[in-house]
């Protein structure tokens, strides 16, 4: 708060005060009082006015400056009301009380919304588990009568299950809740499970699988990582090339852990789309060509990777390849454990 702005805001009060000083001076002149009394009263009145203005300006300036500094330090600006103190001047005190009421109303609204989100999440999770029952029954019927059910039908059932799981993981990723358990898992086993789950799709589309992941162990959540790899494989199938499509799985050592690489020789991703592939609902150039694209797969992979402490990156060249890399930073967990 600048002094000039403060004086300009109180110009009417200052004008009235100056007018009163002039009136007092006029009265003294009218009664022909001694010049010493004139000087004494003018010094007292003017000095008192300056002291009052300076005192009010300084205490308000210090208060607002403190609020400004606290605001700059906060990442979540709405928490400011929890930090500031009630001022000792009237207009500030009134404003503080109104802010408290607004903050309470906002907190009540947030609490209500959190409760609704929790109820919605519980409903979706219940719905997903309920709908999985008939899906499981269908899978058992198909498995027990493989000759009567073509592979294409089995693949459609698997797709339904995949999309249902995508809904479940999307809800879980949006609601702050630890639904995962970090423990040591065999990376090769997880990759093998995902390949087996997607075998009908891979065989139907004549995709060659090159599984070169050795038996190595990483700290992760088995279900979450399986879902992430499944989404990446699903994208590789969806955006495959027409001739000799293949997916290569490899694992290499990096500075602080291991890196899983999933590389396909599909149609690739446009260079302009690469920086945005992890955005929610972003489908890009390829998505416009494929009606089934939702733009949620890689978004979920990125959210889940961050939650698990992994890092996911993607590299691609149009009409040549796409490679997704998942880095497992083992040192991160060792540091936390210590």
Strands, E assignment, the chain: 183-186, 208-211, 217-220, 246-254, 257-264, 310-317, 321-329
Q: What is the pLDDT of residues 148-158, one digit of tens each?
A: 667 777 777 87
257-264/321-329 β-pairing:
antiparallel
- pLDDT band (50, 70, 90) for residue 336: very low
- Domain definitions of the chain by residue range: 3-85, 114-179, 180-337
Sign of CA dihedral 19, 24, 25, 27: positive
Q: What is the pLDDT of residues 10-22, one digit of tens each?
A: 788 888 888 888 8
Mean pLDDT of 50-74: 83
pLDDT recorded at residue 131: 78
217-220/257-264 β-pairing:
unpaired
- pLDDT band (50, 70, 90) for residue 36: confident
Tokens read off for 248: 């290569």
**Residue 170 contacts by C-beta under 8 Å, 6 or more apart in sequence?**
296, 300
Percent of the chain having pLDDT more than 70? 93
pLDDT at 107 over 70: yes
Report the mean per-residue pLDDT for the chain.
84
pLDDT at 59 over 60: yes
Percent of the chain having pLDDT more than 90? 34
Q: What is the pLDDT of residues 285-329, one digit of tens each?
A: 877 766 556 778 899 899 999 999 999 999 999 999 999 999 998
CATH 3.30.1490.190 fits 180-337, yes or no: no
Three-state secondary structure call for residue 269: coil
Q: What is the pLDDT of residues 141-186, one digit of tens each?
A: 777 776 666 777 777 787 888 888 888 788 777 665 567 889 999 9
**Residue 246 contacts by C-beta under 8 Å, 6 or more apart in sequence?**
207, 208, 209, 210, 264, 265
């Amino acid at each position: 708060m600048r002094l000039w702005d403060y004086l300009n805001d109180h110009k009417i009060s200052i004008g009235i005060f100056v007018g009163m000083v002039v009136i007092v001076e006029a009265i003294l002149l009218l009664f022909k009082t001694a010049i010493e009394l004139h000087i004494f009263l003018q010094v007292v009145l003017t000095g008192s006015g300056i002291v009052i203005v300076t005192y009010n300006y300084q205490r308000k300036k210090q208060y607002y400056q403190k609020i400004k500094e606290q605001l700059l330090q906060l990442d979540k600006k709405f928490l400011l009301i929890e930090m500031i103190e009630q001022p000792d001047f009237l207009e500030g005190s009134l404003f503080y009380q109104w802010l408290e009421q607004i903050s309470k109303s906002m907190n009540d609204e947030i609490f209500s919304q959190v409760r609704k989100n929790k109820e919605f999440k519980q409903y979706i999770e219940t719905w997903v588990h309920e709908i999985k029952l008939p899906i499981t029954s269908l899978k058992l019927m198909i498995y027990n009568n493989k000759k009567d059910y073509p592979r294409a039908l089995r693949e459609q059932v698997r797709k339904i299950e995949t999309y249902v799981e995508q809904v479940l993981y999307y809800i879980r990723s949006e609601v702050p809740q630890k639904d995962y358990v970090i423990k040591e898992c065999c990376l090769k086993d997880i990759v093998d499970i995902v390949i087996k789950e997607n075998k009908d799709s891979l065989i139907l589309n004549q995709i060659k699988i090159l599984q070169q992941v050795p038996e190595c162990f990483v700290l992760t959540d088995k279900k979450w990582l399986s879902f992430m790899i499944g989404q990446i494989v699903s994208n590789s199938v969806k955006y495959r090339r027409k001739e000799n499509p293949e997916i290569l799985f490899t694992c290499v050592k990096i500075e602080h852990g291991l890196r899983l690489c999933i590389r396909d020789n599909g149609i690739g991703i446009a260079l302009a789309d690469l920086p945005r592939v992890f955005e929610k609902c972003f489908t890009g150039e390829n998505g416009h060509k494929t009606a089934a694209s939702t733009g949620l797969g890689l978004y979920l992979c990125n959210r889940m990777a961050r939650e698990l402490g992994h890092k996911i990156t993607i590299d691609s060249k149009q009409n040549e390849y796409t490679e997704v890399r998942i880095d497992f930073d083992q040192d991160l967990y060792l540091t936390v454990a210590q």
